[in-house]
């Protein structure tokens, strides 16, 4: 059933566990078309897992993930691979194929999925590289790239097939201020120029808030809050306020759960 | 007591789950062979990486094994005045047993471990996930070409091992110890049977090729995506392959004799 609303992805009642650990406990998320949606939350809350669930690399125990109105977890492998051609993903590590040059990495999806002649593939690859400012790096190997350059190449590869949606997994982690600025500007400008729908997982508050249209904050398997960046900044929820303003203590305690400090210290006195 | 039973049950379930997933993945890889017909470059690339790059160790080892066979065989046969049969002894030992078995063991150490480490590192650096998200099936693009190249390479490498070994035996037996050249070659020609000996050796090496390459790619594909996980899988590849080759060798010999 094709979707009629303005959301490209609709997640409803999503439950996902790993072993005994519950990652998502019935969350609902909408990803609007043509917008940048940020998924934020503390480390280890399952943000990357959420992207893998949307991409069909993991299957939830319960719930639906509708992409264009079709439920991703229920798709057969062949259909899933067809749908993935409409998605791009930028991994935290870049995930570039290390035995290929930058040029071949970007040409890879075009060679795999199209019958285009090599001359046209060359032009397309150069256009994508020009868009990310790395046309001059086409002959380098991934091992010769800096972290920021690797992510820009991965970005160029992710948009090689002109997808409808692109997912970014921690795009700013470990970047110097200049690389971060370049990536922020690239994500925003590409989203507008290519009319992309972007889903960005990050815990870099400032950069993410600057370009996101909508923000979801997740923790402990639940949605702690959602809305525009301004709404999140002005939220009166102590939890969201602590997260957004980076306060060391608050509802999320500084100390990991343990028995009382005095009990622990005095327990040592009874040792032989 | 109940804990012991529960543990046993869990281990049995884990074993069959792993076996099931391994068989399913193997069938998927085999099914992907037909698509490779239209992409010979993928196989040629792997044949080079798996087969051609293993040639040096196979040829050098075959040569030394042949020389040792020549030396040991001569010293045993001369007690019976049968040193003229040295060529047959060397050839049969190599073609029937040592060629396929030693090649498979060397292959597991050289190419199998490299395959596991390569695929494992691709997993650890999210390259396999990246392929999936680019709508490229890693079983078809990564596992199947390597498996097919391994199956093709193994009998060719075993043939090289045996051929060089026969030459090594000749060098020691004929040139150094004085066995008659004509006797060395003519007895070999008369007594080594194509169907009984050579085909059996080829069957063994094909089976070893399937098993060792599959263990290598499966271990890489399912390893924990950490440096320790890759290291453990690489070790498992060599150990499992060695045990599988030696066990299967006995089984195949018993079936074909």
B105 and B180 inside one domain? yes
Per-residue model confidence (pLDDT) at position A251: 73
How many other C-beta atoms can be found within 10 angstroms of the C-beta atom of residue B255?
9
Segment A247-271 shows an average pLDDT of 75
B232 and B142 inside one domain? yes
A66-70, A171-175, B225-229: range with lowest mean pLDDT: A171-175
Dist CA B161 CA B104 (whole Å): 11
- Whether B37 is covered by a domain: the verdict is no
Average pLDDT of every residue of chain B: 94
B159 and B252 inside one domain? yes
Q: Look at B134 and A84 and tell me if their CB atoms are within 8 Å.
A: yes
- Report whether B125 contacts B72 (CB < 8 A): no
- Report whether B69 contacts B89 (CB < 8 A): yes
- Name the most confidently modeled range: A149-158, A234-243, B94-103: B94-103
B80-104 pLDDT, tens digit each: 989 899 999 999 999 999 999 999 9
- Whether B244 is covered by a domain: the verdict is yes
Nearest CB to B135; choose among A85, A96, A157: A85
pLDDT band at A3 (very low <50, low <70, confident <90, very high): very low
pTM of the model: 0.86
Residue with more model confidence, A259 or A87:
A87
Tokens 């990357």 found at: A48
pLDDT band at A1 (very low <50, low <70, confident <90, very high): very low
Burial of B68 (0-12, 13-18, 19+ CB in 10 A): middle
B52 and B143 inside one domain? yes
B133 and B216 inside one domain? yes
Per-residue model confidence (pLDDT) at position A220: 86
Where b means 16+ CB within 10 Å and e means fewer, A86-118 reads: bbbbbbbbbbbbeeebbbbbbbbbbeeeeeeee
- Residues in chain A closer than 8 A to B127 (CB atoms): 95-98
B54 and B177 inside one domain? yes
Segment A104-127 shows an average pLDDT of 94
Show the low-confidence residues of chain B (pLDDT under 50): none
- Whether B15 is covered by a domain: the verdict is yes
Dist CA B25 CA B214 (whole Å): 10
- Whether B204 is covered by a domain: the verdict is yes
- Report whether A69 contacts A5 (CB < 8 A): no
Per-residue model confidence (pLDDT) at position B146: 96
A60-74, A240-254, B90-104, B190-204: range with lowest mean pLDDT: A240-254
- Report whether A66 contacts A9 (CB < 8 A): yes
- Whether B60 is covered by a domain: the verdict is yes
The range of the structural domain enclosing residue B155 comes to 42-256
B53 and B16 inside one domain? no
| pLDDT of A4 strictly over 60 | no
B148 and B229 inside one domain? yes
Dist CA A177 CA A172 (whole Å): 9
B13 and B127 inside one domain? no
Per-residue model confidence (pLDDT) at position A2: 42
| pLDDT of A139 strictly over 80 | yes
Q: Look at B130 and A96 and tell me if their CB atoms are within 8 Å.
A: yes
Q: Which residues contact B105 (CB under 8 A, 6 or more apart)?
A: B241, B242, B245
Instruction: Pick the residue of B24, B31, B38, B134 with the most A CBs within 10 A to test the interface with A by mutation.
Output: B134
> Would you state the structure tokens that stand for residue A25, as one six-digit string?
């406990």
Per-residue model confidence (pLDDT) at position A272: 54
Angle (nearest 5°) at CA A249 between A247 and A253: 135
B2 and B53 inside one domain? no
Dist CA B56 CA B171 (whole Å): 19
| pLDDT of A235 strictly over 90 | no
Segment A152-162 shows an average pLDDT of 91
| pLDDT of A101 strictly over 70 | yes
Give residue ranges of B with CB < 8 Å to any A CB.
125-127, 129-130, 132-137, 141
B227 and B184 inside one domain? yes
CA distances in angstroms from B171 to A135, B168, B181, B185, B246, listed in the order given = 59, 5, 10, 12, 29
Per-residue model confidence (pLDDT) at position A243: 84
How many other C-beta atoms can be found within 10 angstroms of the C-beta atom of residue B214?
23
How many other C-beta atoms can be found within 10 angstroms of the C-beta atom of residue B118?
20
Q: What total number of domains does chain B contain?
A: 2
Chain B neighbours among A 56-85 (CB < 8 Å)?
Answer: 57, 77, 81-82, 84-85
Average pLDDT of every residue of chain A: 88
- Name the most confidently modeled range: A38-42, A255-259, B230-234: B230-234
- Whether B160 is covered by a domain: the verdict is yes
Nearest CB to B133; choose among A82, A87, A97: A87
pLDDT band at A269 (very low <50, low <70, confident <90, very high): low
B52 and B19 inside one domain? no
- Whether B36 is covered by a domain: the verdict is no
């Amino acid at each position: 059933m094709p979707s009629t609303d303005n959301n490209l992805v609709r997640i409803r009642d999503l439950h996902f566990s790993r072993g005994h650990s519950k990652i998502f406990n019935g969350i609902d998320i909408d990803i609007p078309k043509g917008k940048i949606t940020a998924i934020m939350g503390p480390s280890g809350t399952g943000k990357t897992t959420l992207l893998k669930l949307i991409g069909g690399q993991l299957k939830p125990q319960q719930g639906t993930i509708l992409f264009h109105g079709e439920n991703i977890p229920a798709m057969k492998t062949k259909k899933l691979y067809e749908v993935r051609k409409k998605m791009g993903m930028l991994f935290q590590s870049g995930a570039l194929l290390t035995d290929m040059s930058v040029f071949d990495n970007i040409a890879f999806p075009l060679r795999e999925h199209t019958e285009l002649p090599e001359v046209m593939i060359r032009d397309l690859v150069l256009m994508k590289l020009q868009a990310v400012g790395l046309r001059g790096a086409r002959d380098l190997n991934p091992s010769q790239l800096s972290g920021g350059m690797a992510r820009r190449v991965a970005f160029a590869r992710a948009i090689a097939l002109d997808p409808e949606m692109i997912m970014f997994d921690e795009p700013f982690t470990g970047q110097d201020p200049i690389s971060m600025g370049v990536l922020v500007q690239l994500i925003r400008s590409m989203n507008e120029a290519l009319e992309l729908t972007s889903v960005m997982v990050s815990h870099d508050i400032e950069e993410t808030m600057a370009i996101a249209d909508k923000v979801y904050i997740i923790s402990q398997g639940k949605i702690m809050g959602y809305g525009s960046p301004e709404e999140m900044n002005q939220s009166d929820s102590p939890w969201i306020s602590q997260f957004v303003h980076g306060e060391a203590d608050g509802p999320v305690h500084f100390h990991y759960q343990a028995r009382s400090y005095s009990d622990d210290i005095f327990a040592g006195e009874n040792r032989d | 007591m109940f804990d012991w039973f529960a543990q046993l049950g869990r281990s049995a379930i884990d074993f069959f789950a792993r076996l099931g997933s391994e068989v399913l993945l193997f069938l998927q890889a085999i099914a992907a062979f037909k698509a490779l017909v239209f992409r010979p470059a993928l196989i040629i690339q792997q044949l080079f990486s798996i087969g051609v790059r293993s040639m040096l160790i196979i040829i050098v080892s075959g040569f030394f094994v042949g020389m040792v066979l020549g030396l040991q065989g001569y010293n045993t046969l001369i007690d019976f005045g049968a040193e003229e049969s040295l060529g047959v002894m060397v050839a049969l030992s190599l073609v029937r047993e040592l060629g396929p078995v030693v090649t498979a063991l060397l292959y597991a150490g050289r190419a199998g471990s490299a395959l596991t480490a390569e695929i494992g590192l691709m997993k650890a650096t999210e390259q396999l996930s990246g392929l999936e998200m680019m709508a490229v099936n890693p079983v078809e693009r990564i596992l199947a070409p390597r498996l097919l190249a391994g199956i093709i390479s193994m009998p060719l490498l075993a043939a090289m091992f045996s051929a060089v070994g026969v030459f090594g035996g000749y060098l020691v037996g004929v040139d150094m110890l004085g066995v008659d050249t004509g006797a060395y070659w003519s007895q070999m020609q008369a007594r080594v049977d194509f169907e009984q000996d050579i085909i059996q050796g080829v069957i063994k090496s094909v089976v070893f090729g399937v098993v060792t390459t599959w263990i290598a790619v499966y271990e890489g594909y399912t390893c924990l995506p950490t440096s320790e996980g890759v290291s453990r899988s690489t070790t498992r590849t060599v150990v499992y392959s060695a045990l599988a080759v030696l066990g299967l060798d006995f089984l195949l010999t018993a079936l074909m004799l």
